[in-house]
Amino acid sequence: MQLNKGLLLGAVLLCGTAFTANSQSLLGITDSIQKTTQPPPPLESTWKDTRLINEQTTKTASPGVMVFRVDHRFGNMGAASNGGIHTLYGFDVVTDIYLGFEFGILKNLQVAVGRSKSLELLDGSIKYRPLTQQSIGMPISLAIYGDAAITPELSSVFYSGGTDSTAALQGTRDRMTYTTELLIDRKFGDVGSLELIAGFNHRNYVLAVHNPSSGARDSNNIAYIGAAGRVRLSKHAALVFEYNYIMSAYRMNNTATPYYNVFSVGYEIETGGHVFEINLSNAAYLDINNIIPNSTDTWSKGGFKLGFCISRAFNI
């Protein structure tokens, strides 16, 4: 009888040990599953601002946040492009001023409105980022950007220079311009970030003019590609740059009205609630709807301009 009790006690102890071991093993598996299913740690922001110099970034305003933006561009600095000492190297001239408001609607979705001095352009835009780079997993960020703009210029100004009216739609539709961009970028650790841009610009009305060198006529549609980057200098400062290559037969080697691709460089500083940037660009305009079809200055002739941008985020 004592032997049977001893065997029974041993069996109970053995079962208890096995149950404890299995429980610990199951808990370990459960913890492992939970760790692997948790989202990867967030990546430090690829860009400090929703816009770099002239181009958009993949960054969007956070939900419930409004970004107020002021951009300013002076005149040409080089004497060969009507700059030099007599305009204080462009400081006496204002080629464009842009005021904009950006609103974070949902996570990774923003809408914006703005006003440019040049061509009196009023624009509204939307930007959505379906892919966001993660520290583990997703290697890139991707955003889609769309902008619609209208110019309320007087007809005597808007239609000035046209040789015929066959392309004119007459009315508000004439004055509409649209730009769509696909933005893909990646952050490379603490070194910096690189963005690739594919864009398409459409103007409802263009002047019926030709390139005297090739005979090519200006087109309503202009495709372009570009690249933008940010090189980190410190936690709050960086060098930034952009380049747009514009694909247009009318603009290539046009001896009557030379057109040029746009290259811009700048120095960016983040100071808490706002981002300040000073830049140089051969683009006279600040809205992409104006920049793509109308850039007629070149760096080689001193056609670069000093500009600055201030953006400030507010919780609303």
* Fold annotation for 42-315: Porin (2.40.160)
Query: Rounded to an integer, what distance in angstroms lies between the CA atom of residue 241 and that of residue 262?
Result: 11
Q: What ranges do the domains of the chain cover?
A: 1-38, 42-315
Instruction: Give the pLDDT score at 37.
Output: 55
CA torsion sign for 14, 15, 18, 23 is negative
Instruction: Supply the pTM of this predicted model.
Output: 0.82
Strands (E), the chain: 65-76, 94-106, 109-116, 122-131, 141-150, 176-188, 192-203, 221-232, 237-247, 262-271, 274-281, 305-315
Instruction: Give the pLDDT score at 202.
Output: 97
Q: How far apart are the first and last CA of the chain?
A: 81
Instruction: Give the pLDDT score at 172.
Output: 84
Residue owning tokens 């739609």:
169
H/E stretch holding 6 reads helix 2-37
Instruction: Give the pLDDT score at 36.
Output: 52
Instruction: Give the pLDDT score at 7.
Output: 41
What is the CB-side half-sphere exposure of residue 224 using CA atoms within 13 A?
27
Instruction: Give the pLDDT score at 158.
Output: 86
One pLDDT digit (tens) per residue for the chain, 316 residues: 444 545 444 444 444 444 444 444 544 544 554 555 566 665 777 899 999 999 999 999 999 999 999 999 999 999 989 999 999 999 999 999 999 999 999 999 999 999 999 999 999 999 999 999 998 889 999 999 999 999 998 888 888 876 544 444 567 889 999 999 999 999 999 899 999 999 999 999 998 889 998 889 999 999 999 999 999 999 999 999 999 999 999 999 998 899 999 999 999 999 877 899 999 999 999 999 999 999 999 999 999 999 999 999 999 8
Contact 192, 232 (CB under 8 A): yes
